[in-house]
Amino acid sequence: MIYFYSYLALGFLTLVILYTTHRIREPRKHSSTLKALFHSSPRHRIEWKERLLESIVIPLTALFVVVVWPYALYKYLVILYMNFNPRPKSSDEEFSVDVAHLIEELSINEIESRERVYDPLGSVPDLPFGHLNSTWNTFLHKAEAYDAIWSFEAHWKPRWGSTVHKVGYALVNQKKHQPGAFFLTLNNETWPSES
């Protein structure tokens, strides 16, 4: 039974800490009590919604925090952690094309004829890569005189999550034989087969 009382005491302490930090971060511009906030006008009549809020909802919320304090504390700590340690913008920033991923060297004309989108309804422009044609052209402007374009395919395992199947085209420096910028045409998560 002492453990139960300790659990409730820690829950009450968590409630006080969460309430205090909330009040410090977001102080009210009005009076500090809920009644004073509701009864700020002289002709204000107490409605049933206000009575419900004052007598049932607020105490039940406090009781919920006291009983389920580990979860409330966990969520609060996660929010604090995320504020001080933002995630990287994208997991693609970590991916890079290796020489082992390269398949074949292709000319721009071969790639554009291979990637031309045919849409019988005409909702996609009749251009290489369809709606992504401007992105493709931006990718081509990154190429330098000694760069070649190679197709690549990779199964990449990020730090978290499942394996990602990546297919596309990469600029390869012919002098250093090193892949550089890449253009993705497929980026799908793959799941382990059930066998």
- Tens-digit pLDDT profile for residues 131-162: 999 999 999 988 887 789 999 999 888 776 67
Output the pLDDT for position 40: 53
Residue 30 has pLDDT above 50, yes or no: no
**166: confidence class by pLDDT, cuts 50, 70, 90:** very high
**34: confidence class by pLDDT, cuts 50, 70, 90:** low
Q: Does the model's pTM come out above 0.85?
A: no
Q: What's the pLDDT tens digit per position in 73-82?
A: 788 888 888 7
Q: pLDDT averaged over the chain?
A: 79
Output the pLDDT for position 26: 67
Output the pLDDT for position 39: 53
Per-residue three-class SS string for the chain: CHHHHHHHHHHHHHHHHHHHHHHHHCCCCCCCCHHHHHCCCCCCCCCHHHHHHHHHHHHHHHHHHHHCHHHHHHHHHHHHHHHHCCCCCCHHHCCCCCHHHEEEEECHHHHHHHCECCCCCCCCCCCECHHHHHHHHHHHHCCCCCEEEEEEEEEECCCCCCEEEEEEEEEEECCCCEEEEEEEEEEEEECCCCC
Output the pLDDT for position 31: 47
**170: confidence class by pLDDT, cuts 50, 70, 90:** very high
Question: 60-69, 130-139, 186-195: which has the minimum mean pLDDT?
Answer: 186-195
Output the pLDDT for position 194: 41
Residue 46 has pLDDT above 70, yes or no: no
- Asked if residues 133 and 143 have their Cβ atoms less than 8 Å apart, the reply is no
Q: How far apart are CA 18 and CA 24, in angstroms?
A: 10
Domain ranges, ordered by start, for the chain: 2-84, 91-190
The pair of structure tokens assigned to 110 is: 């071969």
Residue 90 has pLDDT above 70, yes or no: no
Higher pLDDT among residues 65 and 167, named by residue = 167
